[in-house]
Structure 1
C-alpha cells in the first residue's frame, strides 16, 4: 500500500518500470563493484606483494567494510536533508574513489581507495531502499524490492564476464575506470529523472540526541533487530562464496575460462528466486516464504556437507547444482527479511535503513572474511560456513518470532 503522495515534481517522473530499473541500478553498483573484480584478483596478487594468496580477498573485504561503515551516515543525512542531495554526493565520491583505485600503485593504496569506494557506494544503496520505503509499505514493499532484486541480480551473473572482457583488452586498472564512468551515468540519470521523496515537512533535525533516539528505537524493536541480525548472518554465506569463488572454481575444479560462466550460472538462481518471490509474496506472505526458504537453504548446505564426507568431493556439476539450489533459497530470504526489518520503521526509514544495512553488511563481511581466510584447497570451509550460518540465522528468526515460524499467527 502506498503511504506517500507524489509531489508535483514527481508526477512527470519515471513510471513504475523505469523506477524499478533506476532503483536497481543504484543498488547494482554494489554488486558490480565486487563481482567485476573477481577475475582480476590473481592479476592484482601477481602485481603487488599481498602476503599470501588468501589476502587477495582483502580487495573485496575492505570494500565491504567501507560499505558497512558508510551506511551509518547516509540514512540520518537523508532524513535531514532529503534523499536526492545525499545520493548525488555519494555518487560523486564513488566516481572519485574509483579513479583513485585505477591509479593506485601499491596494494595498500588500492585497499585504502577500495575502503573509500565502499563508504561512497553506501549512499545509493541506502537511498534506494529509503526511497522505496518512502513510497511503499508492507507486502507491497517486498513485492517492489523483489522486482528491484530481479533486475539487480543480473549484475552478479554477468559481472565476472565483464571483468574478464576488460582483462582481455587491458589490465585491472581499466575496470576501475569503467566503474567511474558507470557511476557518473547513474548520477546523470537520477539527477534528471528522480524526484525528492522526502518532503521538507517530513525531515528530521540532525542532532546527536535525535540520532541516539533513532538508533535506540531500531535496537529496541524486536522485529527490526532480530531480522537485521538474521540477514547479516545468512548474508555471511554469500560473502563467503564471493570471497572464495575464484579460488574454488579455479584451483579446486580447474574451471579456467569457464569461471565467469559457472559463477553466473549459480548467481542466476538468485534472479529466478527474485522473480518467483515477486509473484508469490503478496499472496503467500513474507514470513511463510522466507522462513521456508531459510530451512531449505540450511538443509541444502547440510546435504552438501554429507555428500563430501560420505561420498567424497562432489563433481564440478554437482557442486554448481547444490550451490545454485542454496542461492535459490537465499533469493527468497534477503528481500523479505529486509522488508520485515524495515516494516516497523517507516517514520525513520533512512536512519533505520542505515542501521540495518551497516549491521547486516559489517556482520556479513566479518563472517565472509573468516571463512575465506580458512580456505584450504577444498570446499569444506565454504560449505561448512553455509550450514553454520543457516542454522544460526534460523535460530535468530525463531527467537525473534517467539518460536512461531512460517507466519503462524501473524497473517504473513
Structure 2
C-alpha cells in the first residue's frame, strides 16, 4: 500500500538523510578493514584501493539512469528497488572469498546505492520550493553528514567484535531497515500526470541538452571540484590516518579513524545547520561567497602546515578538513537547487547528471590521484588547494555570467559573452 499522506518535513528529512547515508556507509565502513581484507584475499594496498574506485565507477554509470527512471515510473519505486539490490550486493560482499568476487559485488553496490541521494534530491524539489527547499536540503545534509563520521567508527567496532564480513552484514541490515521505513513513510511525490516516458533517444537528447548548457557545466564543476578537495582526503584515509597521522608520536590504529572523520563531518554538519538557518535571511550568492572563503582559508592553512611540519599530528592536521567541510556545506545546497530549478520537468535527470559529474571526479580521485600522491601529506595539501581554487573560479565565472544576463534583461548595452 502506497502512503498517500505527505509526511512532516522532519520525518521526510530523517528518511531522506538515512537514504543518502548508505552511499557513504558503503565506502567508509570498510576503511578500518582494509589491512585484514587485503591479508585474507591476498591484495596489496593499491589493489584494495580499487574496492573504492570500482564502486564509484559503477555508481557514476548508474547515476545517469536513477533520475530519469524516477521521472518515468515514480520516485518511490526506484528507491525501494535500489535498496533491495543494495542489500543483496552487500550480502555478496560478505560472502566473497577472493578479490574479483568482492570487486564484482562492490560494483553492484555502486549500481544501486545512488538512488537514495539522487532521487532524494528530486523528492525535495517535488514537495518544496525556494527557501523551504533549501532548509530541507540543509537538514538532509546535516543527517547525511553524520555517515562519513560514524561509518569508520562502526567499521572499527565491528572489526574488533568480529571479522570483516560483519561490516557488510551490517550494510545488509541497514538497507533492509530503510526498505521498511521507505515503504511506511515515503509517499509518491511524482504523480503519473507529471511523468515522462523513458525512451533511450529522448533520454540521450535530454542529457545532451543539459550537459551542453554552459550554466550547468559551471555549477556542476564548481560543486564537483569543491567537494573533490575534501574527497581526496577521504579516499586517502586508510593511508592518511594509519600511516601519516600521529598522536603523541605514535601512529593511529584502525579504531582511531574518528580523529579524522569526526572533526571533518562535524564541520559539514555545522555548515548545513547554518545554511538552513540562513535560508530566507541571506542570499544564496552571499552564502556561497562565505563558503568559498572558509574553504580558501582552510586550504591555505593546510598547505602552510604541511610545509612547516614534516610529521602531521592530530588535531592540527585535521583542522583544515573541518573548516573546508563547513564551507562545502554552505555552498552545496545553493548550487544543487540552482541546477534543479533550471529543469523543473526533468529534476531527476538534472540531479542524475550532476551526480554523474561529481562521481566521475571522485572515481578519478580514488582510482588515480589518491594512490599517486597519498604517500605525501604535502602533495595532498597542494592538490586539495588546487581543486578548491578551480571550484571558486567556476563559481566566479557563473556569477559573472549571471550578472551579465541580468543587466542585459534590464536593457544594458553589453557585448555578447
Tell me the TM-score normalized by structure 2. 0.90
CA displacement at 1:81 relative to structure 2: 0.9
CA displacement at 1:311 relative to structure 2: 5.4
CA displacement at 1:132 relative to structure 2: 0.7
CA displacement at 1:251 relative to structure 2: 0.9
**Aligned equivalent of 1:373, options 364, 371, 374:** 371
CA displacement at 1:92 relative to structure 2: 1.0
CA displacement at 1:150 relative to structure 2: 0.8
Residue 9 of structure 2 corresponds to residue 16 of structure 1: yes
Unpaired segments ≥5 residues, structure 1 = 1-7
- Tell me the distance in 2 between the aligned counterparts of 1:246 and 1:136: 39
The 5-angstrom pairing of residues 77-156 of structure 1 reads: 77-156=69-148
Q: Could you say what secondary structure the match of 1:402 adopts?
A: helix
- Tell me the distance in 2 between the aligned counterparts of 1:32 and 1:119: 15
Name segments (4+ residues, structure 1) moved above 6 Å. Answer: none
The match for 2:248 is none
Residue 27 of structure 2 corresponds to residue 29 of structure 1: no
The match for 1:355 is 353
- Tell me the distance in 1 between the aligned counterparts of 2:327 and 2:269: 11
Quote the RMSD (CA, aligned, Å).
2.2
**Aligned equivalent of 1:38, options 31, 39, 42:** 31
Q: Could you say what secondary structure the match of 1:346 adopts?
A: coil
Residue 293 of structure 2 corresponds to residue 301 of structure 1: no
Task: Tell me the alpha carbon deviations over residues 285-323 of structure 1, each in whole angstroms, 9 at most, x when there is no partner.
Answer: 222112331233133212321232245444322112222
The match for 2:236 is 244
- Check the 8 A contact 1:374/1:381 in 2, yes or no: no
- Tell me the distance in 2 between the aligned counterparts of 1:327 and 1:374: 23
> Kindly tell me: are residues 172 and 311 of structure 1, through their superposed partners in 2, closer, same or farther at Cα, counting changes over 3 Å?
closer
The match for 2:252 is 255
Q: Could you say what secondary structure the match of 2:196 adopts?
A: coil
> Kindly tell me: are residues 192 and 171 of structure 1, through their superposed partners in 2, closer, same or farther at Cα, counting changes over 3 Å?
same
Task: Tell me the alpha carbon deviations over residues 159-179 of structure 1, each in whole angstroms, 9 at most, x when there is no partner.
Answer: 111111111121111111111
Tell me the TM-score normalized by structure 1. 0.91
**Aligned equivalent of 2:341, options 340, 343, 349:** 343
The match for 2:290 is 292
Task: Tell me the alpha carbon deviations over residues 129-174 of structure 1, each in whole angstroms, 9 at most, x when there is no partner.
Answer: 1111111233332221101111111122211111111111211111
The match for 1:219 is 211
CA displacement at 1:259 relative to structure 2: 2.4
Q: Which moved more, 1:52-61 or 1:126-135?
A: 52-61
Aligned residues: 400
**Aligned equivalent of 1:325, options 323, 346, 359:** 323
**Aligned equivalent of 2:155, options 150, 157, 163:** 163
Task: Tell me the alpha carbon deviations over residues 348-384 of structure 1, each in whole angstroms, 9 at most, x when there is no partner.
Answer: 1111111111111112221343331123533122212
- Tell me the distance in 2 between the aligned counterparts of 1:126 and 1:331: 17
Q: Could you say what secondary structure the match of 2:315 adopts?
A: helix
- Tell me the distance in 1 between the aligned counterparts of 2:207 and 2:55: 24
Residue 231 of structure 2 corresponds to residue 233 of structure 1: no
CA displacement at 1:14 relative to structure 2: 2.1
The match for 2:187 is 195
Unpaired segments ≥5 residues, structure 2 = 246-250, 409-417
Q: Could you say what secondary structure the match of 1:105 adopts?
A: coil
- Tell me the distance in 1 between the aligned counterparts of 2:367 and 2:66: 25
